[in-house]
Structure 1
Amino acid sequence: MTGASGRLLQLFEGHRLTPAQRRIAHCMVRRASDAPFLSSVELAELAGVSQPSVTRFAVALGFDGYPALRRHLRDMPAEAAAQEAGGGAEPGNEYQQAVLAEIDNLRDLAALLADPTPVERAGRLLAASPALPVLGLRAASAQARGFAYFAAKVHPDVRLLDEGGSMLGDRVDAAVRAGATALLCFALPRYPRETVAALDHARGAGLRVVTVADSAFAPVAHPADVLLPAAVGRGLAFDTACAPMLLARVLLEAMCDGLPDAQARLEDFDARAAERALFVE
């Protein structure tokens, strides 16, 4: 996360925001370098909300209006930039070193995303699949489950495959019968043999495979697949997967761009969640 994004998150922290206001905040974090220079109309268009919503957002943060918020953003100090760039003495304990290694992995991911073509292509493949199987076994199961949870809010038929066994192939076949044309796989070290076998089965069934792995040279790599690499951290007893998790969210965003009713589905969920008082907010 860049310094500008981090300072924006600190600004938003502790405020109770409506769903529309959260979309504005999310948009500003994504466009952190541009945020201080956007007009309220431009920000509203980028976030997909009304211009009055931007004004109410600024007031919710404690400002008189959006111009006051924009002045504050322009005046926000740029301290800690050297620290974020890794300046100063290297921290001496293993926990700090693990965190810094993950920051490096995120920087590498940001550099990779300078060309968004592979992620956009993957997003279109997933969005076009009437049924969407999401595969992730063992260490990758958390990534698969997290993606499937959010994807189900915008995609009509998401099928989580996070358990191995003889029925795994059956569940892939069931997805194909339901119209699936693509499968998303999360593959992180150590790679289960069942993952490799399931991917071979999926390709044999005619599915296009999109894989998020820790390396372009992972054992699950296949020339016919769309492979999106994001490194894992290896400084602790168990690998850390901040970059694969963030890449999964980026891929979700790309998939939403290919689903014309994604925003309507999200708004419908927000309305039903409010009616049922699902969240304490």
Structure 2
Amino acid sequence: METAETWVRDRTDGAVLGPKSERVVHLLATQAEFTSYASASAVAGRAGVDAATVVRTARALGFAGWPDLRLELRNRYLSSLRANEVLSEHEDAASDPILHALRSDADNLALAIRTVDVAAVRAVAAAIATARRTLVIASGSFAGPAHQLVHSAAFMGLDAQLPGRGGTTLVNALTKLGPGDCLVAINFWRLPREIRAATEAAHRAGVTTCVLTDLRRSALTELADHTVTVPCEGTSHFPSLTASMAVVHAILAEITRTLGEPARAAMRATEDLWSRLDLMCD
């Protein structure tokens, strides 16, 4: 993970910035903890400029405005921390951790509505809907949204799989992929080497690669044909997956609309088989 200073300097390399914007860039690069949660006016006050300059600087860095840039800075800052450091970052945030977690997830959903690229979500859905087969990879708790995506896609008749283990099992699944197939990598916070290596292998094989993550540019997104950036800050030592699960639901809803009657026919056939096997209590 590159430092905030390196990332900011890379974003501004070759850009023509005025002296006021340069002051904002210097603040972003050297005070990541502060700028990752501060308002545009707070950043402006510390940099000695007006809030409009902060917004212009954000746009010069390729973002729609300050909220989008602040989200990227926040995620990059948190990704640089270990789990116990993330916990320390959050432990004094509220007296009631249950209510704070619920409110934080509601805020993440509201932020996702404002910042998620709908066209990118639609592109991921199209890639899965038209693929010969789809392999979804994730590690640890991030397998939660992956399981939902694979299970519901398969319910609509698509060939979608989630390798139960990594290592040689993952390699066996990857060797079956080629042009016409799709790989979806779901990862937030720190990036496991295996997830990055698997995405790279699929990319080299001509597979359409899709990434759901919390950073707009990273070692993972550089391998992606389609990237959906999702807010994921939690209130404890782990990221929140509420917004990412909502994005998975959006992908599935779009796939359902795209496939139309074939999806409905696959669902009916599956439910008929449920009945014949007497799977459900009803």
TM-score bucket (shorter structure): 0.5 to 0.7
Amino acid at match of 1:128: T
Over 3 Å counting, the alpha-carbon distance change for 1:132 and 1:254 in structure 2 is: same
1:100 equivalent in alignment to 2:138: no
RMSD: 2.3
State percent identity of aligned pairs.
Answer: 20
Over 3 Å counting, the alpha-carbon distance change for 1:160 and 1:117 in structure 2 is: same
Q: Pick one of 119, 125, 132 that aligns with 2:121.
A: 119
Residue 170 of structure 1, CA deviation: 3.1
Amino acid at match of 2:199: L
In structure 1, distance between residues paired with 2:128 and 2:186: 14
Residue 104 of structure 1, CA deviation: 0.7
- The equivalent residue for 1:173 is 175
1:235 equivalent in alignment to 2:235: yes
- The equivalent residue for 1:139 is 141
Q: Report SS of the residue matched to 1:133.
A: strand
1:188-215 residue CA offsets vs partner (Å, 9 max, x unmatched): 2232111011111000000111111123
Residue 223 of structure 1, CA deviation: 6.4
Q: Report SS of the residue matched to 1:215.
A: coil
- The equivalent residue for 2:264 is 263
Over 3 Å counting, the alpha-carbon distance change for 1:104 and 1:150 in structure 2 is: same
1:113-146 residue CA offsets vs partner (Å, 9 max, x unmatched): 5x63221121111111111111112232222122
1:151 equivalent in alignment to 2:177: no
- The equivalent residue for 1:161 is 163
In structure 1, distance between residues paired with 2:164 and 2:214: 18
- The equivalent residue for 1:58 is none
Q: Report SS of the residue matched to 1:216.
A: coil
TM-score by length of structure 1 reads 0.61
Amino acid at match of 2:110: R
Q: Aligned ranges for residues 18-167 of structure 1 at < 5 Å?
A: 92-112=95-115, 116-167=118-169
Over 3 Å counting, the alpha-carbon distance change for 1:95 and 1:165 in structure 2 is: same
TM-score by length of structure 2 reads 0.61
Structure 2: 5+ residue stretches without partners:
1-92
In structure 1, distance between residues paired with 2:144 and 2:128: 19
Structure 1: 5+ residue stretches without partners:
1-89
Amino acid at match of 1:118: A
In structure 1, distance between residues paired with 2:207 and 2:96: 46
Instruction: Tell me if the contact between 1:139 and 1:188 (Cα under 8 Å) persists in the aligned partners.
Output: no
Residue 225 of structure 1, CA deviation: 2.1
Q: Report SS of the residue matched to 2:209.
A: strand
Instruction: Tell me if the contact between 2:210 and 2:224 (Cα under 8 Å) persists in the aligned partners.
Output: no
- The equivalent residue for 1:18 is none
Instruction: Tell me if the contact between 1:182 and 1:207 (Cα under 8 Å) persists in the aligned partners.
Output: yes
- The equivalent residue for 2:194 is 194
When the two structures are aligned, how many residues end up with a matched partner? Answer: 189
1:45-88 residue CA offsets vs partner (Å, 9 max, x unmatched): xxxxxxxxxxxxxxxxxxxxxxxxxxxxxxxxxxxxxxxxxxxx
In structure 2, distance between residues paired with 1:168 and 1:97: 37
1:153-212 residue CA offsets vs partner (Å, 9 max, x unmatched): 113321213422144233112133xx6422111112232111011111000000111111
Residue 276 of structure 1, CA deviation: 3.3
Instruction: Tell me if the contact between 1:135 and 1:162 (Cα under 8 Å) persists in the aligned partners.
Output: no
Instruction: Tell me if the contact between 2:129 and 2:158 (Cα under 8 Å) persists in the aligned partners.
Output: no
Deviates more, 1:101-110 or 1:212-221: 212-221
In structure 2, distance between residues paired with 1:248 and 1:156: 15
Amino acid at match of 1:267: R
1:220 equivalent in alignment to 2:225: no
Q: Which runs of 4+ in 1 moved over 4 A?
A: none
